[in-house]
Amino acid sequence: MFKKILIANRGEIARRVILACRELGISTVAVYSEPDAAMPWVRLADEAYLLKGTSAVETYLNQEAIFRAARTADVDAIHPGYGFLSENPVFAAACAEHNLTFIGPKPQVIQFMGSKAQARELAVTCGVPVVPGLDGAGLSDVELADAVEAIAYPLLIKASAGGGGKGMRIVYSAAEFHDAVKLARGEALSSFGNDHILVERYLREIHHVEIQILGDQHGRVLHLFERDCSIQRRHQKIIEESPSPAISDDLRARMAEAAVSLATAAGYENAGTVEFIVDGSGSFYFLEMNTRLQVEHPVTELITGFDLAAWQIRIAAGEALPFTQDEIQRRGHALECRVYAEDPAQGFLPSTGVLTTYRPPSGPGVRIDDGVESGSEVTPYYDPMLAKVISWGQDRLEAVRKMERALRDMVVLGVTTNIPYLLSILGQEAFRSGNTTTNYLEQHMAGWVPGVPADEDVLLAAAIFEALQSGGRRARHQDVSEEVETRADPWNDQTSWRNVQGV
């Protein structure tokens, strides 16, 4: 097993990996940008190193600075979390060149499955259903327009190397096609350095269902059931759950078998997710594979009891999966809501500022994955997600009710959040009945406005109380622009009474 791991990420996933390492007896090293210097996950790590700068390019995407920190801290491995460098095959290969273990799949697998075109070809070879479409590689815009005549409109154009909705366009008629292709190619090139696009039939009433898989270095690939991620805004998930309310046991089994077949054919190792779409007739189609841990992994952990972050580390260290597929059982229902610093009533405009009060919920069946605290500053430099609230119940209704209670108990002052928006979704009959297609927000939440805010005097009193409880916190800084003396922090906890050693 590794002795020390560097987490090349920030926020709640950095904290999540640090906690997994602690349970495995592994020392942890955090890296942080200047705006993140006072964040709680920085203090939680055994060591922390400053990456000079503010933007992601200067800091969390700066491979040279991250390897400098790894060398200074003398770590054995790097955990990339998700986002940033997690699906970068060049970074994964460079880890090996620096005698470090990359906690994830092999670089060549990341590169292969990161291409939607290549992944689609592999799916076809494995007999996994794909959406009718074609590969735009080597075709001019005119040739592509002629070729898609065989596919019924509407069409979906998407970047082969893309993700997160970038390089993606929906086209409803041939008159729109040329301009949409031009825009999609341009966005794909600027975002991913590659203008390779795919064109597929656009399916309207669909569910986004993904299968969690684990593969070890000894040839075994297993699945841990599915997650439904259909509630999305701008192709970004905001509510996820497991099991999916949209599929039958038979469909679940067939999708899981397809996911395992695809991952096995790819020679996949570590945690990964095979994503599908399911139409109204119950047919499913391969979408893509994410070669990393997913943001929504906690719902799988709650229904199966497996620590996915810990198993990522165990697999990377060479351990074999000691259980069979039949030994992986699911229990109950889990739900995750992503709490963002944003204003849904203003087009999901990000909200920045200092969290004057942050009080996460607790109680039976509620889990919080976060990377902030009262006094934390929400900056414009990174993703505005503050926390993930996860609930578990014996059935779906119980999980939803626990989530509603948790979100109402959560206090976040200083920035605007999407908590009222999430509560509105959960309270609708369409959601409670499981009618959660990917166009849910357009159908049911268009024109949404928040309700009456809480009493200002109560909020002010809460803010004053929290300010009195949380004074005196200071962050420690270690600059890895030069070789520096490392030290461990003997006061690793996150209470208000923690003493912070200055430098």
pLDDT digits (tens, 9 = 90+) for 431-451: 999 999 999 999 999 989 987
pLDDT-derived band at 228 (thresholds 50, 70, 90) equals very high
> In angstroms, how far is CA 46 from the centroid of its own chain?
24
pLDDT-derived band at 62 (thresholds 50, 70, 90) equals very high
Q: Tokens 């997913």 belong to which residue?
A: 294
CA distance 94 to 84: 15
Radius of gyration from C-alpha coordinates of the chain: 23
- Which of 12-21, 462-471, 490-499 is the most confident on average? 12-21
User: How is residue 493 written in tokens?
Assistant: 């906890």
Instruction: Calculate mean pLDDT across residues 246-257.
Output: 97
Number of residues in the chain:
503
Strand partners, 198: 135, 158
Q: What is the CATH number of domain 4-103?
A: 3.40.50.20
pLDDT-derived band at 456 (thresholds 50, 70, 90) equals low
- Kindly report the average pLDDT of the chain as a whole number: 90
Q: CA triplet 41, 45, 50: central angle to 5 degrees? A: 80
Residue 54: how many other CB atoms lie within 10 Å:
16
Yes or no: say if 304 and 225 are a contact pair by the CB < 8 Å rule.
yes
CA distance 279 to 221: 27
Residue 427: how many other CB atoms lie within 10 Å:
11
In 3D space, the residue among 114, 52, 113, 41 whose CA is nearest the CA of residue 79 turns out to be: 41
Residues in CB range of 20: below 8 A, 6 or more apart: 307, 309, 310, 313
Tell me how far CA of residue 2 lies from CA of 26, 314, 436, in angstroms.
7, 9, 42
pLDDT cut 70: percent of the chain above it? 89
Residue 423 class from Cβ within 10 Å (0-12 exposed, 13-18 middle, 19+ buried)? middle
> What pLDDT, on the 0 to 100 scale, is given for residue 462?
59
Instruction: Calculate mean pLDDT across residues 48-71.
Output: 97
Amino acid at 61: L
Each domain of the chain, given as residue ranges in start order, spans: 4-103, 132-201, 206-444
In 3D space, the residue among 363, 447, 375, 451 whose CA is nearest the CA of residue 43 turns out to be: 375
Q: What is the DSSP letter of 46?
A: S
> What pLDDT, on the 0 to 100 scale, is given for residue 161?
81
> What pLDDT, on the 0 to 100 scale, is given for residue 469?
56
CATH, domain 206-444, list 3.40.640.10, 3.30.470.20, 3.40.1280.10, 3.40.30.160: 3.30.470.20
User: How is residue 20 written in tokens?
Assistant: 């997994």
Q: CA torsion 377→380→382→384, rounded to 10°?
A: 70
Yes or no: say if 28 and 313 are a contact pair by the CB < 8 Å rule.
no
CA distance 483 to 421: 47
> In angstroms, how far is CA 186 from the centroid of its own chain?
25
In 3D space, the residue among 163, 194, 167, 195 whose CA is nearest the CA of residue 180 turns out to be: 167
**Residues with active-site annotation:** 292
CA distance 210 to 276: 6
Residues in CB range of 389: below 8 A, 6 or more apart: 336, 337, 339, 360, 361, 366, 367, 368, 403, 406, 407, 410
> What pLDDT, on the 0 to 100 scale, is given for residue 54?
96
pLDDT-derived band at 486 (thresholds 50, 70, 90) equals very low
pLDDT digits (tens, 9 = 90+) for 79-97: 999 999 999 999 999 999 9
> What pLDDT, on the 0 to 100 scale, is given for residue 149?
86
pLDDT-derived band at 289 (thresholds 50, 70, 90) equals very high
User: How is residue 306 written in tokens?
Assistant: 């497996």
Query: What DSSP string describes 165-233?
Result: TTT-EEE-SHHHHHHHHHHHHHHHHHHHS---EEEEEPPSSEEEEEEEEEE-TTS-EEEEEEEEEEEEE
> What pLDDT, on the 0 to 100 scale, is given for residue 18?
98
> What pLDDT, on the 0 to 100 scale, is given for residue 193?
84
Query: Residue 488: is its pLDDT beyond 60?
Result: no
Which homologous superfamily does the CATH classification assign to the domain defined by 132-201? ATP-grasp fold, A domain (3.30.1490.20)
Provide the CB-side half-sphere exposure for 439 (13 A, CA). Answer: 9
CA distance 361 to 377: 20
pLDDT-derived band at 497 (thresholds 50, 70, 90) equals very low
Query: What DSSP string describes 246-277?
Result: T--HHHHHHHHHHHHHHHHHTT--EEEEEEEE
Residue 476: how many other CB atoms lie within 10 Å:
17
pLDDT digits (tens, 9 = 90+) for 131-170: 988 888 888 888 888 888 888 899 999 888 877 677 889 9
Q: CA triplet 279, 283, 287: central angle to 5 degrees? A: 75
Instruction: Calculate mean pLDDT across residues 180-197.
Output: 87
Query: Residue 483: is its pLDDT beyond 90?
Result: no
